[in-house]
Structure 1
Amino acid sequence: MKILGISGSPNKNGNNEKIINLCLETAKNRRFEIDKIFISSLKVEPCKACGVCKNGEPCPIDDDMDQVYQKLKDADGIIVSSPVYFGSVTAQIKSLFDRSVLLRRQGFQLKNKSGGALAIGGSNNGGQEKTLQTIHDWMHIHGMIVTGDNNHFGGTLQKPIDSDETGMKTANDTIEKICDILDLMK
């Protein structure tokens, strides 16, 4: 089984990419295949609501989303991390979420995949739970199995993440729970 990690940060080598790499290392140690999407290395344009995908056609926007679609389809579990930008997810990850409507319209291709969320804010209580909710909403709309950290809603961290012991535990507990659910599904 495969777990896909998605960093929704436009910044290369930042806290979000670091936490996704750590989570994927945990999954790999539990013998899961891993893959990742770092939005910082991709061009994903916003959805234009043209409706072409309603008819089973590919999205007409020429960018990197085709490789994203394939990685989303291939995954059994998905963990998404976003920095908190003005109380929510980044515009870049929101574009990916909006464009993923093609997978919903063309057979609910993310249905029953296990998904978890991580959010990194500049301060404690800096909008992390609202950011998690946005990621969870995306997962619910796709019919995914939304997974928390056994206590709350997922990983809530404060930057720099290396100094946030409690936040790092919530992130680790979230990926462990995703792995547990996938183990149950084998």
Structure 2
Amino acid sequence: MSICILMGSMRKNGNTEALLRPFIEQLKFEGIDVQYIWLCDKHMEPCRSCFACQGIEGRPGCPIDDEMEQIYKAILEADCIVFATPIYSWFCTAPMKIVMDRLFSMNKYYGNTKRHYSLWEGKKCAIIATCGYEIKNGADLFEAGVKRLVEHSHLHYLGMLAVRDINGITDFETEEVIDKAKKFALDVKYLIL
């Protein structure tokens, strides 16, 4: 069993990474293979809306030559994808948004392909988010966007762990939050099985 974590934070050792640490530790303790990808370390260009990918069968087929190819490969190899991001202006960070837009190429619904299908159909996905507002007004729009992506791509949504930042990094290092992150890891594990 493998999980690909797409980390959208622009800051290393920030709030989102602090929330992810116990989540990843629990997954590894459970024997789950974790691939952790820092998106801000990758050279990724925005989608050009050229639709060239839609005429390519059996693979993403995006003509942009950048490190998104590694991300496509990691997603296709994983059983579950975790979108991990701080919430800026009610949505994910710019690197995460680039990835989400480029995942358009994983769905072959719009081109000259002989059939309409999703390359990653049936995969599971979850969200880990940090935000400054109440969760219902902070991470809700990102969750709605991911749920729409899940529906469109025929994935299975496993849920969201979101924690609010009130006092900075210390909010993500409390025993309560660490326990929530570990429990979410267990929930994800059992929902993947």
Which interval holds the TM-score relative to the shorter structure? 0.7 to 0.9
Q: Which one of the candidate residues 93, 105, 126 is aligned to 1:102?
A: 105
Q: Note if contact 2:22-2:178 (Cα within 8 Å) is conserved in structure 1.
A: no
CA RMSD of aligned residues (A): 2.1
Matched AA of 1:43? H
Residues 62, 5 of structure 1: CA spacing in aligned structure 2 closer, same or farther, 3 A cutoff? same
Rounded to whole Å, the distance in 1 between the matches of 2:121 and 2:186 is: 20
What corresponds to 1:122 in structure 2? 132
Rounded to whole Å, the distance in 2 between the matches of 1:87 and 1:53 is: 29
Matched AA of 1:158? R
Matched, 1:54 2:42: no
Structure with larger Rg:
2
Residues 139, 171 of structure 1: CA spacing in aligned structure 2 closer, same or farther, 3 A cutoff? farther
Residues 140, 168 of structure 1: CA spacing in aligned structure 2 closer, same or farther, 3 A cutoff? farther
Matched, 1:15 2:15: yes
What corresponds to 2:112 in structure 1? none
Rounded to whole Å, the distance in 2 between the matches of 1:59 and 1:168 is: 39
Matched AA of 1:38? W
Unpaired runs of 5+ residues, structure 2, are 109-115
Rounded to whole Å, the distance in 2 between the matches of 1:123 and 1:156 is: 11
Unpaired runs of 5+ residues, structure 1, are 149-153
Secondary structure of the structure 1 residue equivalent to 2:118: coil
Q: Which one of the candidate residues 112, 117, 133 is aligned to 2:144?
A: 133
Rounded to whole Å, the distance in 1 between the matches of 2:94 and 2:177 is: 23
Residues 26, 162 of structure 1: CA spacing in aligned structure 2 closer, same or farther, 3 A cutoff? farther
TM-score, scaled to structure 1: 0.84
What corresponds to 1:173 in structure 2? 183
Residues 21, 107 of structure 1: CA spacing in aligned structure 2 closer, same or farther, 3 A cutoff? farther
Per-residue deviation at 1:167? 4.8
Matched, 1:67 2:70: yes
Rounded to whole Å, the distance in 2 between the matches of 1:43 and 1:110 is: 23
Q: State the percentage of identical aligned residues.
A: 24
